[in-house]
Amino acid sequence: MSDDSTSRSDPATGSDAEAASRVLGCATEHPNHVFPVRTPFNHRSFDALNATGVDLDVVSPTPFAPPVGPFSEYRHVPKTEQWGSYQAHYPRFLYALPKRYFYQYSGDSAQKRVTRYVERTFETPHDVVQTCGFYLDGYAALEYCRRHDIPLVALSHAGDLKNFDRFNDEVQARIRETIDYCSAVLTVSDELAAVARQFAPAGKVRTLPIGEDPEDYPTERRAAIRRELGIAPETKLLLYVGRFEKEKGIRELVAALDSLSREDVAVAAVGHGGALRWWFLDSLGELHHPAHAYWQLDPIAVRRLHVAADLLVHPSWIEARPTVLYEAMAAETPVLASNVGGIPEMVVDGETGVLVPPHDPETLSRTLDSLLDDPERLREMGRAGRARLVDQRWTWTDHAQRLREVHREVARD
């Protein structure tokens, strides 16, 4: 990097120069008023970082909308929008379909247009560029970083690393090119960090958890919230939050619920995408348990459901560290989840929740039945989960502080 970065004061001094560091954030998957609940953790990360006093600019590259068809709604995405504590910018790029063959051209267009947009719109250069993954985000910002000798930090949530073999050769080359340039490769779990070390030197890779803020979850109002939602005191509310797709284990969830012979169970499912949406809703409607599905629910309403629930059920096949588990912990809700990916790093089996094998609806059903027979154990595990969240500093404030320290390190190199 250029010698200019070495002129900053020591971070420990807390000087004005250090406080005024300028960061460019780039996230293709970022909420907007057309898709308000899309990947909210990217927004929460930027919002928390902005609260530390950095001078933050955020771009969310957005595809040009076709005139008709399922993607035409992209035309309603604004050019800019205030999102939380910062303004998000949505520069357009060409998204080539089918993705299997032409995804590399999408990356090339995003890189060209993001570079041009950032240089025209903001005071440049920035001190650090922070992206929410390697592709498209990191690659989209790569040329801007190279032109101005800026360190690039990318935080992966699993998709581009764990799905690497699914991309064509040209996309794989662009991902490797981005990782090679990165000053720091961040992952949300230790399990994913081990995957990242197959692509980057170990010294570049570190785990940087995301999290949740317990003060946003009104656990003291649990009884009142359950009354407002029409949940009887004796009813055990099971909650699922995630995409309605097979990889999230929703077929196994339906099978487990269908074989659960109890009269005291109700089900709430919150989704925001997934090819099995209508199958899942139809299947829930055929259960002998009361069940209600919510689509693209406001985050405040999701937090209320977490507080009201007796148990979060998350039978996914593959995960890094799912945000929904942090949310459950903040709400003092115990977790029944698959023993995959980074989930065992979050859930202490038998203490803050219970882990079961994936693809196993029989074990899932038996475990559900056993847990629901012991409400006091559920409450103890919920309290232990919240305590673990705080003890491990899995909050957005701590996430931002850790992220900012990474930025200080790479800016000094």
Per-residue pLDDT of the chain (413 residues; tens, 9 = 90+): 433 333 333 433 344 444 459 999 999 999 999 999 889 999 999 999 999 999 999 999 999 999 988 889 999 999 999 999 999 999 999 999 999 999 999 999 999 999 999 999 999 899 999 999 999 999 999 999 999 999 999 999 988 898 999 999 999 999 999 999 999 999 999 999 999 999 999 999 999 999 999 999 999 999 999 999 999 999 999 999 999 999 999 999 999 999 999 999 999 999 988 999 999 999 999 999 999 999 989 999 999 999 999 999 999 999 999 999 999 999 999 999 999 999 999 999 999 999 999 999 999 999 999 999 999 999 999 999 999 999 999 999 999 999 999 999 999 87
Give the closest residue to 169 by CA, choosing from 241, 243, 261, 103.
103
**Inter-residue contact 92 to 124 (CB < 8 Å):** no
| 134 and 245 part of one domain | no
| 177 and 75 part of one domain | yes
Full-prediction pTM beyond 0.85?
yes
**What are the φ/ψ torsions at residue 409 (nearest 5 degrees)?**
-65, -50
Would you state the pLDDT for residue 11?
A: 38
| 159 and 47 part of one domain | yes
Tell me how far apart the alpha carbons of residues 318 and 177 are, in angstroms, rounded to a whole number.
26
Tell me how far apart the alpha carbons of residues 260 and 99 are, in angstroms, rounded to a whole number.
41
Tell me how far apart the alpha carbons of residues 138 and 140 are, in angstroms, rounded to a whole number.
5
Q: How many CA atoms lie less than 13 Å away from 374 in the CB half-sphere?
A: 12
Chain Cα centroid distance, residue 269:
18
| 355 and 330 part of one domain | yes
| 174 and 316 part of one domain | no
Give the closest residue to 216 by CA, choosing from 311, 329, 295.
329
| 136 and 40 part of one domain | yes
Joined together, the tokens standing for residue 247 give: 């990889």
Say which residue the tokens 């154990």 belong to.
377
| 404 and 346 part of one domain | no
**Inter-residue contact 392 to 109 (CB < 8 Å):** no
| 309 and 197 part of one domain | no
> Is the Cα torsion angle 284, 35, 342, 166 positive or negative in sign?
positive
- With a CB cutoff of 8 Å and minimum separation 6, the contacts of 98 are none
Identity at 186, one-letter amino acid code: L
Joined together, the tokens standing for residue 187 give: 């992952």
Tell me how far apart the alpha carbons of residues 42 and 45 are, in angstroms, rounded to a whole number.
5
| 184 and 324 part of one domain | no
The count of other CB atoms within 10 Å of the CB of residue 131 is: 29
| 118 and 50 part of one domain | yes
Type and span of the H or E element at 353: strand 353-356
Give the closest residue to 259 by CA, choosing from 350, 367, 354.
367
Tell me how far apart the alpha carbons of residues 311 and 262 are, in angstroms, rounded to a whole number.
15
Number of domains in the chain: 2
Tell me how far apart the alpha carbons of residues 347 and 335 are, in angstroms, rounded to a whole number.
7
Tell me how far apart the alpha carbons of residues 342 and 192 are, in angstroms, rounded to a whole number.
7
The count of other CB atoms within 10 Å of the CB of residue 64 is: 13
Would you state the pLDDT for residue 13?
A: 38
Q: Read off the CATH number of the domain in which 335 is found.
A: 3.40.50.2000
Would you state the pLDDT for residue 20?
A: 57
Tell me how far apart the alpha carbons of residues 253 and 249 are, in angstroms, rounded to a whole number.
6
Could you list the residue range(s) of the whole structural domain that residue 233 is in? 214-391
Would you state the pLDDT for residue 340?
A: 96
Would you state the pLDDT for residue 326?
A: 98
| 196 and 71 part of one domain | yes
Joined together, the tokens standing for residue 21 give: 């560091």
**Inter-residue contact 182 to 204 (CB < 8 Å):** yes
Would you state the pLDDT for residue 412?
A: 83
| 234 and 383 part of one domain | yes
Would you state the pLDDT for residue 69?
A: 87
The count of other CB atoms within 10 Å of the CB of residue 100 is: 10
Give the closest residue to 145 by CA, choosing from 130, 135, 132, 157.
130
Tell me how far apart the alpha carbons of residues 144 and 117 are, in angstroms, rounded to a whole number.
10
